[in-house]
Structure 1
Amino acid sequence: MAGHAALYATSTSSNMARKTTTSSPRRNQHRPAAKKHAASKGLLRRALRAAGWILPGIVAVILLLRFVPPPTSAFILTRHVERMLDSAPGPAVMHEWTPLRRIPRHMALAVVAAEDQNFPNHFGFDVDAIARAVEHNKKNQRVRGASTISQQTAKNLFLWSGRSYVRKALEAGFTVLIELLWSKERILEVYLNIAEFGDGTYGVGAASKRFFGKTPARLTTHEAALLAAALPSPRKFSPSRPSAYLRQRAQWVQTQMRQLGPNHIAWH
């Protein structure tokens, strides 16, 4: 009996030891997961706190730019840096702000006809154009974009070029804010003053002077169409020395302008 009792005690103690050694790692396995979860919650909390500080600042800047001409843009600053580093050879960067009252209606209409014909009606995003672009890109290797003038204004003013999801998400956010805080006239006015119309030539004021030697107010309809026709590839084409393709595209822009009519945009 004593032998059986000793054997039972030994077996019991070994089983308890095994249970103890096997249960301890299971409890420890939960600790890294808990720490990881806590870390992610802390990161999210810090991100939300940072957004709470940054977003009001962005809104304030956009609201200010509703009344004050932007002194420059992200794209213009980038081009200045490229010129300093000699990574983008070309003519000197030229930018000149032209007030709304000195830009003729046909210049604004040319840009709308060339880039975003539904501009007066959408809220920053042209859903039909996006759908057409998606269908086109499925069947063709050459990618077609569907960015509106509002989106291009947001991108040129605040962001950088590229096709990353982060940049597109930020562009969408800035576009919504611009549409909420600015009038359509203001969006078009800023776009006309920061868009690149030729290599290193930003804004219709600089483009009129560099390519035609005149002020925007003296631009003819054909000259306005040439400037608008160069917008998709401003570093490839020159409005003052238009290629056959650019002349053909400018003719198409003028046809679209006639079909849209001068009252297609509100312009004072």
Structure 2
Amino acid sequence: MISRWFRKLLSLIKYLTILSLSLVLLFAFVPVPLTGVMIERHIQAWWNHNSSYQLRHNWVPFEQISGAMKQAVVAAEDQKFPDHFGFDTEAIEKALVYNSKGRKVRGASTISQQTAKNVFLWTGRSWFRKGLELVFTGLIELAWGKERILEVYLNSVEFGPGIFGVEAAAQKFFKRPASQLNRHQAALLAAVLPNPLRFKVQDPSPYVYKRQQWILKQMRQLAPVEQRLAAR
């Protein structure tokens, strides 16, 4: 009996591994139509009987996203993105020290890790999910490369309830395509990313405004992200 269930478990793991690898390779070339977090939000809306929930998601190529938006998310979320292989070890060490002091938990996820989570996994904190995130992060770093990771990230990240990707956010909040976002608009969008269900683009709190100004300063100080990616 145990042997039979063990064989079934191994078979399930094998098929899930094949499926995961196939999706990673597929999404290296084709737009991502639906992500794990999108599915999670749909389930939450259904569970809470939220019939007004509406998903907004419009994929746009990397070239049709403003340079300001690319610069803003790197400045806000992962300034070492062009230089690391998926993980910022220095940020992880600092987060471990900070969290060991019993303060509010601080994360150290890179854009690559966030992309892996958004596309293939779900939100929340658990060692199991974190382990899967590490695996998928390594896979997309190998199979996609930095430009593709940033493209998928910008097209899949959540900017508000039901609003996924920079094109949907630009149209919703600024009535313009992602290609026409200016620095202030891009910085405001990036400012809500730590918690897009709490922080609002349309009704920014003093914290969001303060974070926007910090991001604008970082954008000016960093070399253009597209230039840094091209130099890799």
Does TM-score exceed 0.5, indicating one fold?
Answer: yes
Work out the CA distance in 1 between the residues paired with 2:76 and 2:49: 30
Deviations 1:67-124 (A, max 9, x none): 1001111111121222233356875321111111110111011101111111111111
Q: What's 1:67 paired with? A: 29
Work out the CA distance in 2 between the residues paired with 1:246 and 1:127: 27
Structure-2 change in CA distance of 1:53 and 1:153 (3 Å): same
Q: What's 1:130 paired with? A: 92
Deviations 1:125-166 (A, max 9, x none): 111000000111122421100111111111111111121111
The 3-state SS of whatever aligns with 2:81 is: coil
Q: What's 1:152 paired with? A: 114
Q: What's 2:200 paired with? A: 238
Confirm or deny: 8 A CA contact 1:109 1:265 kept in the other structure: no
- Greater helix percent: which structure? 1
The 3-state SS of whatever aligns with 1:110 is: helix
Confirm or deny: 8 A CA contact 1:100 1:189 kept in the other structure: yes
Q: What's 2:63 paired with? A: 101
Q: What's 1:171 paired with? A: 133
Q: What's 1:211 paired with? A: 173
Unaligned segments of structure 1, at least 5 residues = 1-37
Structure-2 change in CA distance of 1:177 and 1:89 (3 Å): same
| Larger RCO, structures 1/2 (Cα 8 Å, 6+ apart) | 2
Give the alignment's TM-score, normalised by structure 2. Answer: 0.90
RMSD of aligned C-alpha atoms?
2.1
Count how many residue pairs are aligned between Structure 1 and Structure 2. 229
Work out the CA distance in 2 between the residues paired with 1:165 and 1:230: 26
Give the alignment's TM-score, normalised by structure 1. Answer: 0.79
Structure with max Cα Rg: 1
Confirm or deny: 8 A CA contact 1:62 1:177 kept in the other structure: yes
Confirm or deny: 8 A CA contact 1:116 1:148 kept in the other structure: yes
Confirm or deny: 8 A CA contact 1:199 1:236 kept in the other structure: no
- Residues 34-49 of structure 1 aligned to structure 2 (within 5 Å): 39=2, 47-49=9-11
